[in-house]
Amino acid sequence: MQAPQSAVEMLQIAADAADSKGGEDLVALDVSGPLPLVDIFLLVTGSSERNVAAIADEIEDKLIESGHKRVRREGRAEARWVLLDFGDLIVHVFHAEERVYYGLERLWKDCPVVPIELSQPVAGE
């Protein structure tokens, strides 16, 4: 199975938002095969709790601005691992230590990687 185009479009919005706030090591996994209700996981690393919160807030704001509905958000208060559930797309924004500890890439290693092309900023922005 392959993630539908709508999920890939959501991924692009979320990835650009994460990148704009300094998100690092962005990895998208197509989990539509093993998970019937989700198409893509986006994993992002932030450099501090403040950065994790800023990345998560920006992703949430941009997806909502684009007309997508958030189903659930968890972990925002601690900002060590924030989960944003937008139905077809689930975003995991990690502090570096949590990302290594929980190792979602290891758990989902059999799922194909979805390529991410970050938008380049326009000169002068």
User: Token pair 């989990």 is at which residue?
Assistant: 31
The more confident residue out of 119 and 104 is 104
Instruction: State the pLDDT at residue 121.
Output: 60
Helix, strand, or coil (residue 77): coil
Res 1 pLDDT > 60: no
Domains of the chain: 5-114 (3.30.460.10)
Query: 73-81, long-range: CB within 8 Å, 24+ apart, which pairs?
Result: 78/49, 79/46, 79/49, 79/50, 79/52, 79/53, 80/49, 80/52, 81/52
Yes or no: say if 65 and 72 are a contact pair by the CB < 8 Å rule.
Answer: no
- The C-alpha torsion from 94 through 83 and 31 to 4, rounded to 10°, is -120
CA distance 31 to 37: 9
pLDDT, tens digit (0-9, with 9 covering 90-100), for 58-97: 999 999 999 999 999 999 999 999 999 999 999 999 999 9
Res 109 pLDDT > 90: yes
Average pLDDT estimate for 37-58: 96
Instruction: State the pLDDT at residue 4.
Output: 78
pLDDT, tens digit (0-9, with 9 covering 90-100), for 4-27: 788 999 999 999 999 999 999 999
Q: How confident is the model at residue 119 (pLDDT cuts 50, 70, 90)?
A: confident
